[in-house]
Amino acid sequence: MNRIKLFLAGEGGQGIQTIAKVLVDAAELQGYQVTYIPAFGVEQRGTPSTAYIIIDNKPILYPRFESADIAVILQERALSLVKKHVTPKSKVIFDSSTVPAKLIEHANKLGIPATQIAATQFIAKSFNILIIGKLSQLLNLDENLVWDSITKVLGKKFKDEKVKKLNLDTFKFGRSAIFEVDHFSKPVFMPMKEKIVRKGFGKHALILPERCKGCHICIAKCPVAALSKGDNLGVFATAVPEIDLEKCIACGNCFRFCPDAAIKVEKDKSAKE
């Protein structure tokens, strides 16, 4: 095998480093020389999380590189970082359900709607397992060794057999997934850009996905369970709340507790006043 340089880019919270840890663990078990180095800032969420991986038969001296043989982009905001590491010879793999294909100007782009598949067929959180599946197949890493590495790295999170089986299915799906080479999926799993306005029952509500991080404190603090997880995604691609104005009593809790000023409900001004 010639040296393979793999650059992963996503966002904090997506499990990018888990993908990297599993791949290098499996590669080492298979007898390869590997280096891996993560790169991220101080913030836990909202900023890029990237990893440089080098797999070779010969010893590797320096873990970072200019141009990647394979660049993987899993979040639109990390696109500019990936561009620095891509040459015409690189393969560019992207999550077509979260990254618009038209933003990637490259002849050799390969799409996989991983977030969409995980959210609709398995569990949303396991989308990185799907990516591990596909990448490990691309790198010719042995399927069993990779699954062993997954259980080693994530073992504690597989609380019961059902969860473990679900992740195994996700992994296997990834292994056999076929890349989209021209007709790419639509990026449906993207943060909503518009404001959400709801009116009725003498109240009006404003919810701002552009600021909502999906922390769900508002849902926890609502005394009448008028808030629940909605289908729209907020800025960190997590579920924005939806409101039932009939149940709502406009107590002001959601507004008071929201750390990001992303929600407020007010009573309509009385027509008589």
Least distance in Å: CB of 10 to another protein?
Answer: 16
Nearer to another protein, 128 or 185 (CB): 128
User: What's the closest the beta carbon of residue 263 comes to another protein, in angstroms?
Assistant: 7
CB 48 within 8 A of CB 33: no
Nearer to another protein, 10 or 111 (CB): 10
Q: In the complex with another protein, which residue's Cβ is closer, 181 or 200?
A: 200
List Cβ neighbours of 173 (8 Å cut-off, separation of 6 or more). Answer: 117, 121, 122, 130, 133
Q: Which is nearer to another protein, 163 or 261 (CB)?
A: 261
Q: Which run of H or of E encompasses 144?
A: helix 143-154
Minimal distance in Å, beta carbon 260 to another protein? 6
Q: How far apart are CB 169 and another protein at their closest, in Å?
A: 25
Q: Which is nearer to another protein, 59 or 88 (CB)?
A: 59
User: Which residues of this chain interact with another protein, rule CB under 8 A?
Assistant: 24-25, 28, 31-39, 41-47, 59-67, 204, 206, 208, 210-211, 213-217, 219-221, 235-236, 238, 255-264, 266
Q: Which residues pair with 239 in a beta bridge?
A: 233
Distances (CA, A) of 258 to 211, 214, 217, 222, 269: 10, 10, 7, 11, 23
Question: CB within 8 A of 50, min separation 6: which ones?
Answer: 7, 8, 9, 10, 16, 38, 39, 40, 78, 81
The three-state (H, E, C) secondary structure of 13-29, written as one string:
CCCHHHHHHHHHHHHHH
Give least dist CB 112 to another protein, A: 26
